[in-house]
Amino acid sequence: MHNAALDAAGISLRYEALDVEPQQLSETLGKLSSVHGAGNITIPHKRSAIGLMGAISAAAAAAGTVNTFWSDEDGHLAGDNTDVAGFEFLTTEMTGAIPGNCRIAVLGAGGAAAAVLAAVSGWKGCTATVHARSIDSAAALCRRFSAFSRAMAMSDDQVRQADIVVNATPVGLGDDSQPISVNRIAPHAAVIDLAYGRSETAWVRAARERGHRASDGLPMLVRQGSLAFHRWFGVDPDEEAMWAAVLKATGRARRVGGAQVQH
């Protein structure tokens, strides 16, 4: 999708994937900064990368992770977390507006869950429960967002009270496993799975079959990528070109607000 955006903008650069071992992260980022490089950072490096940045955005500081970096004219690295705004976009697309006075259940306590809570921290009157297999991990995350979040076990039935249920775990990536049964979710709740792939996750399909508004993380992926592009070049990319590339690569149809639309 980034190469499609680069082509649409007439920028003669290529976006390429680098497989970086944890012990190589600092050296790799140093080499990229020396040539004024920019890019994205994904698991398992999002947390450790934040300590290698010369400056970070408020979103990255709140989430405690970096997923987007660039270098200034002096070669100093700066980092942002565009997942935060990407999640807010996806939620707004699902619900029609930035949520207010609602209850959110977050499944998982890792970097993706932190980005979700960083977004929720700006939503008026909203509260969150964080459900994880390790209650200690959930509690550690909630201490950073203590004003509105509480730690719960994955089995806790507080999920049933939520207006929005978010899967921020890797469960369902590459197979049909589900983080929790959709039967535990209130009928009115919106269901968001941050996982994405060539097809929708089994959890999203099961939720939609049960009548929920449901989406995987593909819209979040494209929007956070669009925001990253703006960070790198100071201009907005052709987001429709990015969507076209993603849909061609996956063979999928685009959904808005959980409903399929023509592209």
Cα 88 from Cα 42, distance rounded (Å) = 19
Q: At 75, phi and psi to the nearest 5? A: 85, 15
Cα 68 from Cα 39, distance rounded (Å) = 6
Cα 28 from Cα 47, distance rounded (Å) = 16
The one catalytic residue in 31, 46, 124, 248 is: 46
Which two structure tokens, joined as six digits, stand for 176? 């049909």
Instruction: Identify whether 46 is a catalytic site residue.
Output: yes
**Structure letter (DSSP) for residue 125:** T
DSSP string for residues in 47-102: HHHGGG-SEE-HHHHHHT---EEEE-TT--EEEE-HHHHHHHHHHHHHHSS---S-
Cβ-in-10-Å burial (0-12, 13-18, 19+) of 155 comes to: exposed
Distances (CA, A) of 148 to 19, 113, 144, 165: 37, 14, 10, 16
Which two structure tokens, joined as six digits, stand for 146? 């203590």
Cα 216 from Cα 201, distance rounded (Å) = 7
Cα 6 from Cα 129, distance rounded (Å) = 40
Distances (CA, A) of 100 to 92, 96, 126: 11, 12, 6
Residues identified as active-site: 46
